[in-house]
Structure 1
Amino acid sequence: MNTVLPQPITEYLAAHQVHDAGRTLPLFAPDAVVADDGHTYRGHAEIRGWLGRAASEFTFTTTLLDTEQVDDDHYVTTHHLEGDFPGGAVDLHFRFTLHAGLITHLVIEP
């Protein structure tokens, strides 16, 4: 794990760690797209709803396992989550696309 992550990603991950959805939304571009758990969320209104549900639906801990810079705008972070969600534990890849200092696309998948 030697990739230095850009500020929007580090801020997103810090807010995600403490389940703080309010700190997260300003890190997304107004037309950003998030894909998580078989659903796609477009724009701030839908992403706000997703963040609220994701932060409150389950209790979990997150451990950052790895980071990778794919190119200037694309980064992948890998996390181990444990909690009271179905299955209880999972490793997830967070695939970030950045533009102009904001997250424009985030895909969360195993």
Structure 2
Amino acid sequence: MADITLPKAVENFVAAINAHDANALAAVFGDGATVRDVGTTYAGTAEIRDWIQRQLINPRIVITPTSFAGDRLVASGDGDFPGAPLSFALVFGIKDDQVTNLAIDPV
């Protein structure tokens, strides 16, 4: 795989997921951030922290970026979940090196 250059916020997001570090991952999101993960929206710090723990940390997700263009990261996600590994598209809204919104869908 060729090296992929990622914005700092996306780089931090990937590193925190792969380290299974819930606090570092929560710190990637700015105030008032939202996450839409396969049709369900999580808004605000408490909901996003809950989503992080249930959907990323507990199943020990590891993501491997395969491409990044514009605001869209395509990555393979592996972990303790049905059908793993799966490919996902993650579309980021970023301001001041923090994620303001994130939309995740299967590819």
TM-score computed with the length of structure 1 as normaliser: 0.83
Q: 2:103 is matched with which residue?
A: 107
Percent identity over the alignment is: 30
Q: Which aligned pairs between 1:43-62 and structure 2 lie closer than 5 A? A: 43-62=44-63
Gaps of 5+ in 1: 70-74
- Code of the residue aligned with 1:87 in structure 2: it is G
Contact residue 20 and residue 55 of structure 1 kept, 8 A: no
Deviations 1:63-106 (A, max 9, x none): 2111112xxxxx11111123331112210011101123321000
CA RMSD in angstroms comes to 1.8
Look up the SS of the partner of 2:33 in the other structure: strand
Farther-moved stretch of structure 1 (2-11 vs 47-56)? 2-11
Deviating 4+ runs (over 6 angstroms): none
Name the count of aligned residue pairs. Answer: 105
Gaps of 5+ in 2: none
- Code of the residue aligned with 2:54 in structure 1: it is R
Shift of 1:3: 5.6
